[in-house]
Structure 1
Amino acid sequence: MQYLLMLYSDQSAWGRMSSSDQERGVAAYRAYTQALKEAGVWVGSNRLQDTETATTVRLVDGKSQVLDGPYVDSKEQLGGYYLIEASDLDAALGWASRCPGASHGTIEVRPVWPVPGSTSA
C-alpha cells in the first residue's frame, strides 16, 4: 500500500540556520532518501517552495476564486513529501520516524486511497 509522508515545519527556520547546519540538513535528507530507495519503498518525493508561492482555488456559488497564499496560516507549513510503498501502517510509521523532519517538525502519515483500475496502487 502507498503512504504519503507529509513533512510540516516552520519554513522560516531554514533561513535562520548557519550554512553548515543547512549543509548537514541537506545531507540528512539525501541519506534518508537513499535509504528509502535502497529498501525499495521510495515512490517519489519533492520539496515544496515556501507558502508565499502558493495559490489557493475554491468554488463559491459555482465561480472560481483564486487567492494568493496558503489556505490557512499556521506555525508549521507543508514543506515537502515522500510517497512510499509500505506493507502496512506500522512500516510506514517506522519510515516516518526516521525522517530528518521528525526532529524539527511533524510528519503526517496518510494512506493513499487506491483508484479502482489503477496500476500504481
Structure 2
Amino acid sequence: MRAKENNKLIGNVYFQQQEPKEFLTWEISYVFNPEYYGKGYATEACKRVLKYGFEQLGAHRVIGKCNPKNTPSWRLLERLLMRMEGHFKKPAFFGKSNQGKPIWHDAYQYSILAGEFLSIRMTKIT
C-alpha cells in the first residue's frame, strides 16, 4: 500500500489460501511502517482484501493471527469484526537469539466467515 500524499510504500497486506484448498480458508496478515500507524491505512487495506476474498475468490473463511502483545494488531482484527478463536502458546517465531535459537511467541487467532462478512454486519466495516 502506498500513501496518497507522496506515493511512499507504507505497508503490505498478505493474503494466502491455506491447505487443504477445498476448505476455502485464507489467511490475512499485514505489516505497516510505524510512521503510518493509527491513520486507518491498515484497516482500509484489510477491508478491501476481505471484500475481494469473499466476493471474488469465494472464500468460506478468513483467519488472522497476531502476537497478543501487539494490541493494535488484535484491535485491527476486531475492527474487521473478526472473532477470537484461540490463544495459542508459542506456535511461531519471527527472530532468533544471538545464539541462533528461535524466540517463540504466543499468538491469538481470529476469523470471520463469508456469511458474517456479507451479512448486515458488513455495513459496519465497509
Please tell me the TM-score bracket, short chain as reference. 0.3 to 0.5
| Larger RCO (alpha carbons 8 Å, 6+ apart) | 1
Give the alignment's TM-score, normalised by structure 2: 0.33
Give the alignment's TM-score, normalised by structure 1: 0.34
